[in-house]
Amino acid sequence: ATNSTNKAALSRDIKIENFDLSHYGKAILANASVTLAFGRRYGLVGRNGVGKTTLLKAIAHRELPIPPHIRVVHVEQE
C-alpha cells in the first residue's frame, strides 16, 4: 500500500476535490471538483464573467491545493 501511496503522491495529475472559489465575494464554484490528467489538453468554455480566468489564476497562484512537485505556469493574456 505504501508504494501505491507514494505513486499517487508523485503523480503528475492534478485532482482537487470539494473546493469553493469566489471572486470579490461572489461565489463562482461551490463544493466543486476538478481532475486534470498529465499530458491532456483542456479548454474552458463559458460566457464572459463566469470565472474561467479566476479558476486558472487560483490554480496558478496555488490558492487551490496543487501538489508541490507540480510546476504550474500561467501566461497572462495581453
Percent of residues, the chain, with pLDDT higher than 70:
88
Task: Work out the average pLDDT over 6-22.
Answer: 83
- Residue ranges of domains in the chain: 2-60
Q: pLDDT (tens digit, 9 = 90+) per residue, 57-77?
A: 999 999 999 888 988 888 887
Q: What is the DSSP string of 14-54?
A: EEEEEEEEEETTEEEEEEEEEEE-TT--------TTSSHHH
Q: pLDDT (tens digit, 9 = 90+) per residue, 24-35?
A: 888 999 999 999
Which residues are 68's β-sheet partners? none
pLDDT surpassing 70 at residue 1: no
